[in-house]
Each structure stands twice: as structure tokens, then as C-alpha cells.
Amino acid sequence: MLGFVPGNLSLYKLAFRHKSVAQNIKKGVKNSNERLEFLGDAVLGSVVAEVLFKLYPYEDEGFLTELRSKIVSRNNLNQLARKLGFDKLIEYDSRMLNSSRQGSLLGDAFEALVGAVYLDKGYDFTRSFLVNHIIKSHVDIHTLEQTESNFKSKLIEWCQRHGKDISFDLVGNEEGESMKLFTVQALIDGEVMGQGKEFSKKNAEKLAAEKACENLGI
Amino acid sequence: MLGFVPGNLSLYKLAFRHKSVAQNIKKGVKNSNERLEFLGDAVLGSVVAEVLFKLYPYEDEGFLTELRSKIVSRNNLNQLARKLGFDKLIEYDSRMLNSSRQGSLLGDAFEALVGAVYLDKGYDFTRSFLVNHIIKSHVDIHTLEQTESNFKSKLIEWCQRHGKDISFDLVGNEEGESMKLFTVQALIDGEVMGQGKEFSKKNAEKLAAEKACENLGI
């Protein structure tokens, strides 16, 4: 499935073990994939950063940061892990999780797998594996580049779909030395779901929408 | 200064060039250190993740994530870069920056340098350089481990210092399948500054406090 022969098999088994079925190996420590996920997330971030740095020599760091976050988003990694057939490999206890939480198991396991490959084979191998076996075949960078990452419209669509009211309220307005600082809250059915503070009202709204998306897990 | 002989010198020069003195090399693209900073930030995150993963085999990913963010915090990287003498190397236009922004020049340049080393010498070299030349001599991981990073007490102290009222209000309480989900808002002088949703009230408060610190730039 991965295109190479694993060395230390126990690392790969660990990568697919969700904490809901993990056992205590020491006080408070479980043999779940969470530590590997921490490591793999970092290695993946570094590999993707280099790929984008070289692929887009004339784009600034704002562009690179945004595109990377689309590539490593939970949503994208979940899809990727499903394509790779990880849903058949992950050990978990379905009674412990509701369906929305089950969704992120896949992306989490993908990151943990990257951590396992790194510990087993080192950075250069992991980079080649990710570039040649994963990114080239399964990640359409140029389509992601075009993808809507406008949190405001995403949030508005979500509210329409779920029959909820949404409003953006300007709740603060501070005079800075040379600029004004605006505070905007995103309210959904009257409840504050996100707040943003920025030097323009538009950007404060964007930030509030982003926070609300985060809080709602959209 | 770095303990090795650089190969491609232009990369290292670029690492110390702040955007305030950069020139346009193509429409909208400047030869500043910002792209290198993007890359170096990712490589540094990955190296520190591995160091902590191996140094703390019995700590969970929450501990590792928190400790890493202390090590790579702007504050810590600024201090590190100053110790290394970067303040004498960075090219920038002081008229373009106020003093608070000048502070982060140092940490930014440190990350950019890591990006330059990576492009010049590869991952394994960069890892050894960071571990042996930087982390072992200049980063006191165990002291950072003890450092206060409790957002709730940080926020409360800040409010006391600025004469503001603070309260944590429980505003939501959802029954999950097997667990309860709590929503807590951090209010400062009655204004919602952060919100957190978690499976315990205590963790929801912590999250709300963290968001509020973020919003307030504390």
C-alpha cells in the first residue's frame, strides 16, 4: 500500500491505533497514535513547505502559508487517508466517538503514519515518499490553490444549509495612534461564535468568521 | 559564528535582509527574508518536535505541543538571535518600523537562517546544527518546561494590572452520546473576548482564556 517495505513494524501498527482502544503503558501514558501524530504533523508541514517554496519561486510567504494550510487541512488529509484505504486499518472503538469525531481519525492516522515513516526511515526517505507517492498522485495543488478559503462565505453557506441566522456585529471601535481598530463578532442564532479585531472592518469580519468556523468545526 | 562554512553565501545574506530594505526582483516579489522564514519555521518546528518526542518518551502530545510552542515562541527566538549576535547582522530600515516591530526582526531572521541552512546543506545537517550548536548551548528546555503558560492566570493578571473586570460564564452545555460538551466565554468588562468548547468546564475555561489572550495580544 505504501510502496515500500517497513522496517520497524510496531511503529506502523501504533500509527493506526486510536486512543479509544489504547492501553496504559505507564501512569497516564497510552500507546495510541497521538504522539506520532504530533511528530508527523511537523514533518509533513516541513516537507510541504519545501515543495511549495520550490514550486512557487515568485510567491510571497502569505501565499505559501495559505496554500500549505489547505493541503494539510483536516478535511484534505481525511480525504487523502480514505483514498489510501486507511479506513480499513484504523483500530478504534466506535462507541466512544460520534460521527463528526470519527471523521478526523483518518487525517490523524495519516499524520501518525508520516511520523512512523520518519522514525523508521529518516527525513529524506519520508520526503521522497510524500512527494512521489502521495503528493504527486493524490494532491492536486493547483486546484487547491483556486479553492475557496473565504471563511465568511463558507460560514454563511453553512448557516443557510442548517437554517441558522447569522450576523456580523461591530462591537468595538478603538482609535489607535494612526489607525482605527475594529472588533467584530460573528453571531449565529444570537450566540457569539467568533470575534475578530483588525484595522479594517472587512478584515475583522473575516477573522470573526474564521474563528466561528473553527469553533463550529466547519 | 555558526560553527560551519556556508556553501551558498547568497542564501545567508538573504536570511538577514528585512523587507524594509528589500528590492523588487519581479512584479510584487521582493528579495527579503520572508520566504526563507516560512521554510525555516517549518524545518525548525520539525526538528524541535523530534527532539521533544525523544527527550520525553512518556509525555503526551499535549505536553509536547505546549513545550514546543514555548521553544519556538517569538519571544524565545528573539532572545536566542540576540545571544547569537544577529542584531549586528540584520539589514533593515529603522524608519519603517516602530520599536515593538523591531523586536521580532531577530526571531524572524533566526527562522530565515534555518531555512537558508536547510536549502544549503539539507535536513540532517540542519538538524545536527540546531541540536548541537543551538539547542544544547542556548535553549534550556527544562526551565521552559516549568515556565508559566497558563493562559487563565495570565489573563487574570493582565486584567488586574489594567483595572478590568473578568468573568468566565458557562453559556452552553450540550449532552453528547457519552460526554457533556461545555461552552465557556471569557468576558472582560462584560465584553466577550474569547470562547471555548470542551469536554470539561475547566478545559473550556482554559481555551476561552487562551482565545482572549490571543485577541488581546497578551
Please tell me which residue, B37 or A147, carries the higher pLDDT value: B37
**Per DSSP, what are the bridge partners of residue B181?**
B174
A58 and A120 belong to one structural domain: yes
Subunit contact A123:B123, Cβ cutoff 8 A: yes
What's the pLDDT at B103? Answer: 64
A138 and A187 belong to one structural domain: no
**In this structure, what CATH number is given to the domain that contains residue A47?**
1.10.1520.10
CB-closest option in B43, B45, B64 to A35: B64
Q: Stretch A166-171: mean pLDDT, rounded?
A: 90
Q: Stretch B19-23: mean pLDDT, rounded?
A: 84
- Please tell me whether residue B140 adopts helix, strand or coil conformation: coil
Chain-wide mean pLDDT for chain A? 87
In a domain, A4, yes or no: no
- Residue (of B73, B101, B107) closest to B87 by Cα position: B107
What's the pLDDT at A45? Answer: 98
In a domain, B4, yes or no: no
What's the number of domains chain A is made of? Answer: 2
B115 and B203 belong to one structural domain: no
In a domain, A125, yes or no: yes
What's the pLDDT at B204? Answer: 87
Residue written as cell 524565545?
B76
B140 and B161 belong to one structural domain: no
Domain span at A34: 9-146
Chain segment B88-132, per-residue pLDDT in tens: 999 888 776 655 456 688 999 999 999 999 999 999 999 999 999
- Examine the fold and report which residue of B101, B122, B146 is the final residue of a domain before the chain moves on: B146
- Is A33 in contact with A112 (CB distance < 8 Å)? yes
CB-closest option in A28, A42, A171 to B46: A42
B62 and B77 belong to one structural domain: yes
What's the pLDDT at A101? Answer: 57
Which of A197-206, B170-179, B190-199 comes out lowest in average pLDDT?
Answer: B170-179
**In this structure, what CATH number is given to the domain that contains residue A163?**
3.30.160.20
- Examine the fold and report which residue of A146, A166, A190 is the final residue of a domain before the chain moves on: A146
- Is A47 in contact with A130 (CB distance < 8 Å)? yes
Tell me the C-alpha distance between A188 and A183, whole Å: 17
B43 and B107 belong to one structural domain: yes
A18 and A110 belong to one structural domain: yes
- Examine the fold and report which residue of A101, A121, A146 is the final residue of a domain before the chain moves on: A146
Chain segment B176-215, per-residue pLDDT in tens: 655 677 889 999 988 999 998 887 788 888 889 988 888 8
Please tell me which residue, A1 or A119, carries the higher pLDDT value: A119
Subunit contact A61:B50, Cβ cutoff 8 A: no
Distance of CA A135 to the CA centre of its chain: 16
| pLDDT > 70 in chain B, percent | 93
ipTM > 0.90, yes or no: no
Backbone angles phi, psi at B169, to 5 degrees: -110, 135
